[in-house]
Chains A and B, each alone.
Chain A
Amino acid sequence: MKIVIMGCGRVGAQLAGMLDEDGHEVTVVDSDTYSFRRLPASFKGKPLVGDGTDEDYLKKAGIEEADAFIAVTQGDNRNVMAAQIAKHMYNVPRVICRIYDPLREEMYQTLGLETISPTMVGAKLLRDKVVG
């Protein structure tokens, strides 16, 4: 699969490394070159410096042919906007968006975005550890 990941933080870099190892064609977009240091040395994909909410950079990242787009920057709103560009302007078949704020996540889920809230997932995991 051709996969575009927006945001090369801890999660983005880890995910990019895993998908690359599985044999997928991965492009990671981040506005800060320094963040690419987190990518594993064996990474064969493409790191791209740029703003993932700007369509010019998304095109450079190959959004038009992408099978999947994953938005994992630090900003909920940036993720939401980029994910909606991928879904509604470029019809990427699979779009996944990280949203920390559970209320915002719930709303965008009802609007048809595929979302993950690490806040909810993390809190539930911790609760189960404590009381489970």
Chain B
Amino acid sequence: MYIIIVGGGKVGYYLSQALLSEGHEVLVLEKDPAKCGAICDQLGSVVVRGDGCEARTLTEVGTERADMFIAATNEDEDNLVSCQVARHKFKVPRTIARINNPKNEELFKKLGVDVTVSSTNLILEHIEKEVPTHPLMHLLTLKGGALEIVEVKIPPTSSKVGKPMKDIVLPPNSVVCLIIGKWGARVPTDDTRLEADSQLVAVTSPEAEAALRAALTE
């Protein structure tokens, strides 16, 4: 695949290194001549000095034949604009933007950026996982955003402890797919009884999340 990366900072550098070693054709666009020199020394001639938001630069590097366009600078507005130019002027099929302010995620999606990666959110998710203060944790948002996979820990105080799955009424669009207990992981049947401190992996919609938590933990 031909992949263009805008921004030759730390993220851009390690990203291009990884993609090159996977055998992709990679091109890095970077404004700063010193950073360009460093990348050229380390990774070879895969870097062009220029502004990744400018249509002229993007024409020069053959953006119209790129399979993927990744904007990885540390400025959200630059990442948004370069992805929009790549998408609308050069019809790049897949655009990916790094975002710093997690609040921008919705905007970027609305404006046609295919994938957004928020390092702030990623770190937050890890903290949530390591420090379980909340009985319900997001594991994954499924593509399209309508459904998500969550993990629910059953507290010993839950009134559902000891009850079989068939007696537990879940909100619409929600299903428990897996129960992880002391004995390992198991796909629940109607007769599987909930145990205290077991972990449940469930599919649910963002709207039904609170109801699902209440149905299992209260």
Q: Do A and B come from one complex?
A: yes
User: Are A104 and B76 in contact, with the CB atoms below 8 A?
Assistant: no
Taking the complex as formed, is A77 at the interface, i.e. its CB lies under 8 A from any CB of chain B?
Answer: yes
User: Are A75 and B77 in contact, with the CB atoms below 8 A?
Assistant: yes
Taking the complex as formed, is A68 at the interface, i.e. its CB lies under 8 A from any CB of chain B?
Answer: no
Q: List 16 A-B contacts (CB under 8 A).
A: A53-B77, A54-B103, A56-B103, A76-B53, A76-B81, A77-B53, A77-B77, A77-B78, A81-B77, A81-B80, A89-B106, A89-B107, A104-B55, A104-B85, A110-B88, A111-B88
| B54: chain A residues within 8 A (beta carbon) | 101, 103-104
| A103: chain B residues within 8 A (beta carbon) | 54-56
Interface 0/1 of B89-125, CB less than 8 Å to A: 1000000000001010011001100000000000000
Question: Which residue of chain A has its CB nearest to the CB of B59?
Answer: A103
CA distance A88 to B84 in the complex (A): 15
Taking the complex as formed, is A18 at the interface, i.e. its CB lies under 8 A from any CB of chain B?
Answer: no
Q: How large is the interface on B (under 10, 10 to 19, 20 to 34, 35 or more residues)?
A: 20 to 34
Within 8 A of B (CB), among A86-124: 88-89, 101, 103-104, 107, 110-111
| B107: chain A residues within 8 A (beta carbon) | 81, 84-85, 88-89
Q: How many A-B residue pairs have CB under 8 A?
A: 52
| A104: chain B residues within 8 A (beta carbon) | 53-55, 81, 85
| A56: chain B residues within 8 A (beta carbon) | 103
| A110: chain B residues within 8 A (beta carbon) | 88
CA distance A124 to B53 in the complex (A): 25
Within 8 A of B (CB), among A21-62: 53-56
Known contacts A53-B76, A77-B75, A107-B89; A89/B81 CB under 8 A: no
Taking the complex as formed, is A16 at the interface, i.e. its CB lies under 8 A from any CB of chain B?
Answer: no
User: Are A107 and B88 in contact, with the CB atoms below 8 A?
Assistant: yes
Question: Which residue of chain A has its CB nearest to the CB of B53?
Answer: A77
Within 8 A of A (CB), among B58-86: 75-78, 80-81, 84-85
Q: A54-B101, A111-B84 are in contact. List 5 more A-B contacts (CB 8 A).
A: A76-B53, A81-B81, A84-B80, A89-B106, A101-B54
Question: Which residue of chain A has its CB nearest to the CB of B80?
Answer: A81
Minimum-distance CB pairs A-B, first 9: A77-B77, A81-B77, A77-B81, A103-B55, A78-B77, A77-B78, A81-B80, A55-B103, A80-B81
